[in-house]
Amino acid sequence: MKQAGSAVPSGLSTAMLSRRIEVMAVAVRPYLPFVHAAMFVGFLVLLVAPVVLPASPLTEALGEWARWLIWTLWFPLVFLSVLVTGRSWCGVLCPMGAASEWMNRLGPKRDVPRWLRWEGTPIASFLIITILGQTVGVRDYPSAILEVFGLTLLAALAIGFFYGEGQKKRSWCRHACPIGLLLGVFSRLGAVDLVPKRPRPGGDAYDTRGLCPTMIDLRRKTESRHCVMCARCMSPNKSGGLSLRLRGPGEEVARIAQHHPAMSEVWFLFLGTGVALGGFLWLVLPQYQGLRLAAVTWAIGNGHMWLGEPGPSWLMVVHPEAREVFVWLDFFLITAWMVVVMLALAGVLAVLQALGAWLAGRLGATGDFRGRFVALSYQVAPAAMISLLLGLGIDLFKLVPAEAAFPVKTAALTAAVAWGVALGWRILRDMGLGGWRAAAALAPGLASGLVVAAAWWPAVV
């Protein structure tokens, strides 16, 4: 089906494939509650058993399994899956989203409060979870996995229980989930979208009364970030609802002005990439150890001996059995390091994109400065995505033979930067710029892709 402002693949085979996928998704839909229930049980066992069962080879193996499943398989693969199937993890498999929705059926279904609807809420939740994950060692210890994912699950249950008018809503997934935010931004790069068969003009809107669990006004949907691919709005044999559309990867970003761009997403791209970078660099850079030594000397010299004491194990790594114990100084230093790196990277990216937006305006691009800044900033998305994958999903690359890992990572980063430039070119073309003018306005965008790639270079080598 043809939609204003979108390049729809016209080949018969594409249309047939889309329809087949639709029919399959609708056929699978009734079984999803069983899938969710099984996932929920498996998730709880992996989370809780290694911590609460008495120590034994079995619990140790379970803990190792939990670690491997989450960091080697789940995180990198779910992250990559958005490019192919959108947020299908959320709608089809995620036990937390499903549990949040179950709670919504039981709860008072209050209006979603303003603080929760604030677009900064999932960004704050992402930053808090990422920093806490680092200080408690979520990649290494089953107790930390239980704490971080358990807290997230409890928050999903509580928000699902209290908030969300109508039936079967997922306020948590729409407004607060840190993973949902991450997947949502990058799903814009993905090759599938659901589009209204009978679109209504006016742009995206919030609808608490419809059947969409994430409160999308279905007939006005133009963006993919909030869609969890639950298939409830699909009816292949009816003229209403949404239909599946296959599209070129990056198409939504290339025409972002027609797909409800958001300043909050841009800040998440900048800050999220920065905080993840900070969390990676303190582990690998010798400069961090130098800084720590200087801080220890300062603390001793000034009589702040309490900074050398271990803190509570819910806030920082305290695992003497593994010979790893953080003291208060570690906690403050890691947190400060992550925040400083985050602000530094976000600042550089914001300045470069602002320069690109200003330059584009001077060279004749349409729109106001804010609109150009937001639209052009999306060109960082591919580099941000691959660098997050290299840093946070580094365990996946351990499955690749050592001699192949370097070329694979280098090729992925290079392709991501090139993809960002290609997207920037198309975004500028959408603003009416071409030729040397577009090339000039693209230079800061290219620089921002290179900055992200350079910052994550330690993850490559």
Residue 427 in the binding site for ligand SF4 (CB under 6 A) = no
Tell the smallest beta-carbon distance from residue 388 to ligand SF4 (Å): 15
Tell the smallest beta-carbon distance from residue 226 to ligand SF4 (Å): 7
Given a contact cutoff of 8 angstroms between Cβ atoms, the answer to whether 78 and 130 are in contact is: no
Q: Which of 307, 80, 26, 63 is nearest to 194 (CA)?
A: 26
**Which residue among 123, 155, 194, 417 contacts ligand SF4 (CB under 6 A)?**
194
Residue 228 in the binding site for ligand SF4 (CB under 6 A) = yes
Residue 179 in the binding site for ligand SF4 (CB under 6 A) = yes
> Nearer to ligand SF4 by C-beta: 81 or 379?
81
Tell the smallest beta-carbon distance from residue 172 to ligand SF4 (Å): 6
Residue 25 in the binding site for ligand SF4 (CB under 6 A) = no
In angstroms, the CA 214 to CA 227 distance is: 7
Q: Tell me the torsion sign for CA atoms 62, 331, 460, 412.
A: positive
Tell the smallest beta-carbon distance from residue 89 to ligand SF4 (Å): 6
End-to-end CA distance of the chain: 46
Residue 123 in the binding site for ligand SF4 (CB under 6 A) = no
| Residue environment code for 34-70, b if the CB has 16+ CB neighbours within 10 A, otherwise e | eebeebbeebeebbebbbeeeeeeebeebbeebbeeb
**Which residue among 136, 157, 159, 233 contacts ligand SF4 (CB under 6 A)?**
233
In angstroms, the CA 289 to CA 282 distance is: 8
Q: Which of 421, 429, 394 is nearest to 140 (CA)?
A: 394
In angstroms, the CA 113 to CA 150 distance is: 24
Residue 92 in the binding site for ligand SF4 (CB under 6 A) = no
Residues 196-225 that bind ligand SF4 (CB under 6 A): 212-214, 216, 218, 221
**Which residue among 116, 173, 275, 459 contacts ligand SF4 (CB under 6 A)?**
173
**Which residue among 131, 132, 146, 156 contacts ligand SF4 (CB under 6 A)?**
156
52, two tokens: 């609460």
Residue 160 in the binding site for ligand SF4 (CB under 6 A) = no
Tell the smallest beta-carbon distance from residue 25 to ligand SF4 (Å): 9
Residues in the chain: 461
Residues linked to residue 206 through DSSP beta bridges, in sequence order: 216
Tell the smallest beta-carbon distance from residue 87 to ligand SF4 (Å): 6
Residues 239-278 that bind ligand SF4 (CB under 6 A): 242
Given the rule CB under 6 A, which of 126-134, 174-182, 295-303, 436-444 is the region that contacts ligand SF4? 174-182
In angstroms, the CA 108 to CA 443 distance is: 52
Using DSSP's 3-state secondary structure scheme, residue 272 falls into helix
3, two tokens: 């939609």
The structure tokens 């300045």 sit at 351
> Nearer to ligand SF4 by C-beta: 12 or 106?
106
Residue 47 in the binding site for ligand SF4 (CB under 6 A) = no
Residues at the contact surface with ligand SF4, assessed by CB under 6 A: 90, 94, 96-97, 156, 172-173, 177, 179-180, 194, 212-214, 216, 218, 221, 227-233, 242
